Amino acid sequence: MNFLLDKEHQAIFEKAKAYSLECLAPVALELESDPELLKAKMKEIAENGFYGLGIPTEMGGKGYNYLQMSLVYEGLAHGSGIMSFLLQLQNNINMEIATFYEGIDEEILKVVPDLACGNKTTAFALTESASGCDPSATEAYAELDGDVYRIQGTKDWITNAKDADYFNVMVKDGKDSKNMIMLFVPADTKGLRYLENRERMIGNGMFVGGLEFDNCVVPKANLLSADGFKEALKAIDVARVFTPAIAIGVAQHAVDSVSEYLGQRESFGKPILTNQGVQWQIAEMATKIEAARCLLYKTAAVMDSGEPVALTAAMNKLFATDVAMEVTVKCAQLFGAEGFMKDAPIGRAMAVAKMLQIVDGTSEIQKIVVGRGIARQYLPRR
């Protein structure tokens, strides 16, 4: 087992980080309120080859493994955690459409080359207003009616909902069924409507809002999986490799920025960074970030090996996002009043860290997964 990145992996990370610091960081504030700029930047991200990462090369993608993908998202998060999040979400869905589902309809597979290069975009619709942490409370359903599914219900908090060309949608397999299925729904399908965008603490350049399905009809062949719950858990495990990568990039950038700032800023006649009390805080933060990075690389390696990953992925998500939250709050204090400015980057970094603690399973849900996994080994079988 090799803990060190080779030159190829380092280059993947450095390319993403350099692009992000040069092209995303300078407009990070504008990206908050300008959806057109955000779209233009997503196009630029595509031109720079960051789409289609997990899609096999023979299908038009980059054929990256999980470690390589993680390095891209960590690098991009240095300049914009939000853009890294939006990209990984789409790349995950695109990779899943291309490779996860057995016997998928040929017509659906025809969209993969467009997904691989970012010409078309996707979204994942699981959450509803009354079912966030608990997807078993899903109410939206689809009824099979001859050769079509008729979808009914609403979804909430769907990232990229307004701009997506295609949705992977989780619904119950019939109004009274407990089984969930996953359907592929093109955005222009009759009966599908976007609901209002919600203004949030961060990331307001991207659309995160609701979807309404009112007798929305898709061909039976658009069934991606008859075991939607299993597929959703698999998709969430994938996200639990990559949201930590974003958290690590955000946290590392916060420590880098505050160290640079305190190396220049003086109090009591010397740079603040010369104080041991400050250096110790930086040391503790840097150590936690490095520990999170090791867990990230291990999780990516487990994912690449095909071994069961749920427990490790939950630890990875819990640890990295909590570290990012802790680090960004501490860095805000170290920036002093400068960090308290309305548009200070460290304020946005704190908000991204909070977002990352919530999406793809909250920190509490990760503890449930890890705690139950461990308890199962020790509790008597009933």
125 binds ligand FAD (CB under 6 A): yes
Per-residue contact string for residues 181-210; x = within reach of ligand FAD by CB under 6 A: ----------------------x----x--
Q: CB of residue 126 vs ligand FAD: minimum separation in angstroms?
A: 3
Cα distance between residue 300 and residue 231, in whole Å: 19
Residue with the shortest CB distance to ligand FAD: 132
Q: Would you list the DSSP string of 313-360?
A: HHHHHHHHHHHHHHHHHHHHHHTGGGGGSTT-HHHHHHHHHHHHHHTT
Query: How would you label 133-149 residue by residue, b for 16+ Cβ within 10 Å and e otherwise?
Result: eebeebebbbbeeeeeb
- Minimum Å distance from CB 43 to ligand FAD? 20
Cα separation values, 82 from 8, 19, 86, 183, 349, Å: 26, 15, 6, 27, 9
Q: Which residues within the stretch 205-264 sit at the binding site for ligand FAD (CB under 6 A)?
A: 208
Task: Indicate the burial class of 195 (C-beta count within 10 angstroms; 0-12, 13-18, 19 or more).
Answer: middle
Alpha carbon 98 to its chain centroid, in Å, reads 18
What binding mask, one character per residue, do residues 139-168 give for ligand FAD by CB under 6 A, x or -? ------------------xxx---------
Cβ of residue 81: shortest distance to ligand FAD, in angstroms?
Answer: 11
Q: Compute the least distance from the CB of residue 287 to ligand FAD, in Å.
A: 27
User: Is 315 among the residues that bind ligand FAD (CB under 6 A)?
Assistant: no
Q: Please identify which residue in 24, 31, 95, 126 interacts with ligand FAD, judged by CB under 6 A.
A: 126
- Strands 166-173, 122-125: pairing kind: parallel
312 binds ligand FAD (CB under 6 A): no
Q: Does 20 bind ligand FAD (CB under 6 A)?
A: no
In the chain, beta strands by DSSP E:
122-125, 141-145, 148-159, 166-173, 180-186, 192-197, 208-219, 223-225, 266-267, 270-271
Residue 133 contacts ligand FAD per CB under 6 A: yes
Rounded least distance, CB 354 to ligand FAD, Å: 9
Q: How many residues bind ligand FAD (CB under 6 A)?
A: 19
Residues interacting with ligand FAD, by CB under 6 A?
123-127, 132-133, 157-159, 203, 208, 355, 358-359, 362, 364-365, 368
